Amino acid sequence: MKYPLSPDIKPEFCTTGSFMRLPAERENAKVAIVGMPFDTAASFRVGARFAPQAIRQASMTLFPYHPIHKVYPFDETNAIDIGDVSVIPHNIHRSYELMEEAVGELMKKGIVPIGLGGDHSVTLASLRAAAKVYGPVALIHFDSHTDTWDTYYEEKYWHGSPFIRAHEEGLLQPSKVFQIGIRGTLNHPGDVEESRELGYNVITTDELQNRGFENVFEEMRTIIGDTPCFLTFDIDFVDPSCAPGTGTLEVGGFTSKETLQMVRSLTGFNYVGFDLVEVLPPYDPTQITSLLAATLIHDFTSLVALKIK
């Protein structure tokens, strides 16, 4: 390779640093951070291509031990950070292929990928990879939107459609899909109803609050059981006060304290992959969104470490 890496060899929005300064390779790795800086499928604000960089930078202040779960997640999983996939902003399909390939290679080695999006469309690439290795998977989906809109001005692939595309492609076990935290204004009632018609479980913010997340998650645990399970977390699940740096904000969400309590209770699933999407650093002047994202990555890794243990 020729140095320096000119932007025509690797896009200039791709990071060189790593999450918590992890190495790119380690023996017996069980978890791998992978950047997916693709944001062209966004419909409103753009800039999630800078999220992997920002989240890694925010991770510098995290410490290795998780005091609630009592694990050293990155040590116990020999976690690595393989850097960013060289996505191509102007070509959705080639970018999906590149991301699917990167995630798929990890999965084939038994490594759990933790994707740093990117807009939410990147999850489709991960689910394609997952389905090839594990067959249709269960999905735990935190978000304020169902992302099951069909098309956007006739375009099928955008950040509002990954979970209808995944359904069409048979990547998911619909009854084992839980969409958690849905809220906000809609085009019409069908926006949510169509998701239920796909067979998905839609839990709105109101329902989550009224029933109590422990009860909802207990039901989810019963239904999903040991099915290989992917967890996708759209940061706009959280209230804008705690996560202002995202693209399609919905006021009225849960706080970061509530969010962490929920995520920390999600032990016992058979996780085969994670991602965290829709962090937009240009809209995050205090960097609290990136820090929350980095903390959630620490938690996701802990969920894997607990399972290995």
List the interface residues with a second copy, window 238-257 (CB under 8 A).
Answer: 239-242, 244-245, 248-249, 251-257
Stretch of residues binding a second copy (CB under 8 A), selected from 13-21, 123-131, 132-140, 168-176: 13-21
298 binds a second copy (CB under 8 A): yes
5 binds a second copy (CB under 8 A): yes
Q: Shortest approach of a second copy to residue 124 CB, angstroms?
A: 13
The one-letter amino acid at 302: S
110 binds a second copy (CB under 8 A): no
Contacts of 222 (CB under 8 A, 6+ apart): none
Cβ neighbours around 8 below 10 Å, total? 7
Q: Shortest approach of a second copy to residue 167 CB, angstroms?
A: 20
Q: Quick check: helix, strand or coil at residue 232? A: strand
295 binds a second copy (CB under 8 A): yes
Q: Distance between CA 95 and CA 30 in Å, rounded?
A: 25
Q: Which is nearer to a second copy, 39 or 275 (CB)?
A: 39
Burial of 257 (0-12, 13-18, 19+ CB in 10 A): exposed
26 binds a second copy (CB under 8 A): yes
108: its two tokens: 């084939």
Which residues, 51 to 80, sit near a second copy by CB under 8 A? Answer: 53, 56-57, 60-68, 70, 72, 74-75, 79
Q: What is the CA radius of gyration of the chain?
A: 18
Q: Shortest approach of a second copy to residue 225 CB, angstroms?
A: 28
Q: Which is nearer to a second copy, 239 or 275 (CB)?
A: 239
Q: Which is nearer to a second copy, 208 or 224 (CB)?
A: 208
Q: Any idea which residue has 């937009």 for tokens?
A: 280
268 binds a second copy (CB under 8 A): no
CA angle 210, 140, 305 (to 5 degrees): 115
Mask of contacts with a second copy, 164-193, x by CB under 8 A? Answer: -------------------xxxxxxx-xx-
DSSP code string of 132-149: HHHSSEEEEEE-SS----
